[in-house]
Amino acid sequence: MIRRPVFFANWKMNHGPTEARAYVAAFLRFFSPHDDRTVAMFPPALSLATVRDARADRTDVLLGVQNIHSEEKGAFTGESSAPMALDAGARLALIGHSERRHVFGETDTFLAKKCATAVRFGLTPVLCVGETLAQREAGETDDVVTKQLLAGTSALTSDVIADMIIAYEPVWAIGTGRNATPADATSTHAVLREALRGALGSGAERVPILYGGSVNRANASELLGAQGVDGLLVGGASLDPEGWAAICRT
């Protein structure tokens, strides 16, 4: 069960196994178990098993992977599958992060297959959506995020969609130090919630919608307090265990 508020740490390509082990030990000292929120870490694939073992009995901290392939297995050198991720301890999978879309060229169609594969093997998809600066300046934000949401969930039944997680991460705010204002987040989260209502009816309220994009210790509380923001997907600011623990206590 995903309890709100939700705090997800995406380490991206940082913290190999040795660093990851030390990180988890420090984080657990700074963050005691909380039963009123959901906390998860998304380490690099090579560090996932290390994080799982270092976490030990602190199963209040969930684990996820940053990426999966759309196929169960096969000749896809360098990729990881959903069954592998599950076997390694992951329960969540980021899908459609802006870097996967814009650096690696992943399409809405491919991401829809990934969502379906994640669900088929017992992983909860965390579908990321967001607009570029050019799209924002052209007034296309609402259309872009709605299209990405509907496309990404197109292969799923309504019951399955109700159990997934959505993350709004404006591309122009990721790693730039420039974050959306609480009003920006409120506006776009409302658009996403309405799109979910159109697909799910009352079940739409079950879906947490997170904000991600240059979240840090200083602005986390304000962003989390914005109407419609159910949690935070944090990148760079999650790499320091003490600072990440402080955000998770927000």
pLDDT interval class at 167 (50, 70, 90):
very high
Average pLDDT over residues 54-66: 97
Q: Which amino acid, residue 242?
A: E
- Mean pLDDT, the chain, integer: 96
**Is the pLDDT at 51 greater than 80, yes or no?**
yes
Instruction: Kindly state the average pLDDT of the residues 140-168.
Output: 97
Quote the percentage of the chain above a pLDDT of 70: 100
pLDDT average, residue stretch 106-115: 98
Q: What is the pLDDT of residue 70?
A: 98
Q: Is-contact 119 165, C-beta < 8 A?
A: no
Is 179's pLDDT higher than 80? no
Tens-place pLDDT, residues 183-205? 999 999 999 999 999 999 999 99
Q: Which residues participate in catalysis according to the annotation?
A: 97, 169
H helix or E strand, kind and range, residue 224: helix 220-224
Go through the chain and tell me how many residues it has: 250
Q: Kindly list the structural domains of the chain, giving each domain's residue range(s) and its CATH number in brackets, ordered by start.
A: 6-248 (3.20.20.70)
Place of tokens 């709100």: 4
Separation of alpha carbons 227 and 162, rounded Å: 20
Section 131-149 average pLDDT: 96
In the prediction, which pLDDT does 1 show? 77
Give the separation between CA 97 and CA 66, rounded to whole angstroms. 8
